[in-house]
């Protein structure tokens, strides 16, 4: 029975032409399950070095343009805007009342630019197109930190690269419009060196002094991305 189903699926003619349209443009909403911020990535202590601050349920927005290179091969170029912050990590600082714990709001901003190649699977139909693909990504990111009236700027952001794998399903509503659902696996990470513009900060009515002006962090977006959007074919 299983063999019969596989043969039947393979025998269905592929709908790789998208009604003979060469180009498509997608506007998507992306939900990424998790990301981590490592606040002491250069520590000699492996426990401290591997301790991370989690971020969950990250919503971002993506645009992608695709070109049909061959009958069943598509090339895509996408860009995305991702931003997330959360509170929960304490920083030790000094005030006129002594040592205090400062509650931080930490997060990141990330702009992935990704190049992908897609293969239209042979069991696609007139309405449903199933694609499998992968590619490479270039990631531009920064660390976000907020507390009191502190101002933080990133002074070093090494270039980050990565790879990704994609599973896509397009449902053609009409000749030139389809709804897209996508599952993306990727693992971008980048290191950032940041500094406080001033080591004296007003926090909840108290003047606090920070022990160091600069600090390092590592951001790792390690979750699965679920993508839903609309695609225009032309």
Q: Considering the domain boundaries, does residue 205 fall inside one?
A: no
Residue 19 pLDDT: 65
Q: Considering the domain boundaries, does residue 192 fall inside one?
A: yes
What total number of domains does the chain contain? 1
Contact 193, 212 (CB under 8 A): no
Q: Which of 171, 169, 173 is nearest to 182 (CA)?
A: 169
Residue numbers of the domain that contains 138: 21-89+106-147+156-198+218-233
Q: Which of 146, 138, 136, 150 is nearest to 110 (CA)?
A: 138
DSSP 39: S
Q: What is the C-alpha separation between 121 and 125, in angstroms, rounded?
A: 10
Q: Considering the domain boundaries, does residue 95 fall inside one?
A: no
38 Rama class: left (phi>0) / alpha (psi -120 to 50) / beta? beta
pTM equals 0.87
DSSP 135: E
Buried b vs exposed e over 8-18: b needs ≥16 C-beta within 10 Å?
eeeeeebbbeb
Residue 9 pLDDT: 43
Q: Considering the domain boundaries, does residue 85 fall inside one?
A: yes
22 Rama class: left (phi>0) / alpha (psi -120 to 50) / beta? alpha
Q: Considering the domain boundaries, does residue 14 fall inside one?
A: no
Q: Considering the domain boundaries, does residue 13 fall inside one?
A: no
Q: Considering the domain boundaries, does residue 5 fall inside one?
A: no
CATH code of the domain covering residue 65: 2.40.160.20
Q: What is the C-alpha separation between 30 and 181, in angstroms, rounded?
A: 10
List residues bridging with 172 in a β-sheet: 178
Q: How many CB atoms lie within 10 A of CB 180?
A: 20
Q: Considering the domain boundaries, does residue 11 fall inside one?
A: no
Per-residue pLDDT of the chain (234 residues; tens, 9 = 90+): 444 344 444 444 444 456 688 999 999 999 999 999 998 999 999 998 999 989 999 999 999 999 999 989 999 999 999 999 998 778 878 887 778 888 889 999 999 999 999 999 999 998 999 999 999 999 999 999 999 898 899 998 878 999 999 999 999 999 899 999 999 999 999 999 999 988 888 888 888 888 778 999 999 999 999 999 999 999
98 Rama class: left (phi>0) / alpha (psi -120 to 50) / beta? left
């Amino acid at each position: 029975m299983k063999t019969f189903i596989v043969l039947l699926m393979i025998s269905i003619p592929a709908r790789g032409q998208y009604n003979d349209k060469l180009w498509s443009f997608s506007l998507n909403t992306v939900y990424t399950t998790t990301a981590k911020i490592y606040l002491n990535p250069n520590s000699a202590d492996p426990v401290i070095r591997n301790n991370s601050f989690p971020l969950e349920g990250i919503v971002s927005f993506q645009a992608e343009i695709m070109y049909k290179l061959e009958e069943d091969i598509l090339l895509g170029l996408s860009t995305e805007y991702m931003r997330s912050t959360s509170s929960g990590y304490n920083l030790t600082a000094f005030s006129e009342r002594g040592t205090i714990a400062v509650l931080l709001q930490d997060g990141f901003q990330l702009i992935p630019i990704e190049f992908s190649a897609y293969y239209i699977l042979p069991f696609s139909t007139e309405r449903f197109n199933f694609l499998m693909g992968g590619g490479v990504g270039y990631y531009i990111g920064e660390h976000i930190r907020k507390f009191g009236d502190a101002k933080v700027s990133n002074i070093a952001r090494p270039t980050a690269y990565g790879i990704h794998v994609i599973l896509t399903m397009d449902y053609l509503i009409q000749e030139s419009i389809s709804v897209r659902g996508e599952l993306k696996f990727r693992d971008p990470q980048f290191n950032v060196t940041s500094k406080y513009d001033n080591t004296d900060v007003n926090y909840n009515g108290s003047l606090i002094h920070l022990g160091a002006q600069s600090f390092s962090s590592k951001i790792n977006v390690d979750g699965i991305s679920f993508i839903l959007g609309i695609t225009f074919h032309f």
